Homo-oligomer: A and B are copies of this chain.
C-alpha cells in the first residue's frame, strides 16, 4: 500500500490548464475534494440529491441561484465559502480567472442531474485524476 503524501493545491492547479474541468485531489470517505480553474460562464444545472460546496482559492466566483421562485446571485471573493443546497438550480460564473475547491460525493457530475445544453467550453465529468 502506498503511503499518502500531502498535496499542494498550487502544484495541483499548475498541472493543468483546462477551464471548468475539475481534478480530484483527494477523497474523504465517499466524497471527492476537487480543484478547478474557471473563467466565464458555466451553465444552469441542478444536483437533485446532494449539496455542493465551493471555496474560492483565487479570483472571484459568482453563483446565480434560483430558489424560492426568485433569482439571486451570491458573490464569493477569494477565501470565502458557500454551499449550494441540493435541488437548487444554480449557475457559476467567474468574471476573472479563478481557482476553486469543490466538495461533493464521488460520482457527482459537474452538470448535475438536470441542466441546459452543455457549451463546448464546459467539461461534463465526474472529475479527472491528477496526473
A residues bordering B, Cβ < 8 Å? 1, 3-10, 25-29, 31, 33, 50-53, 55, 67-68, 72, 74-77, 79-83, 85-86, 101, 103-105
Contact = CB atoms under 8 A, between A and B. Distances in A.
A49 B74 CA distance: 35
12 contacts: A4-B74, A4-B85, A5-B82, A6-B75, A8-B77, A9-B55, A9-B81, A26-B53, A26-B83, A27-B83, A28-B83, A55-B101
A87 to B, nearest CB: 12
**Can you tell how many copies of this chain the complex includes?**
2
A103 B103 CA distance: 9
B82 A53 contact: no
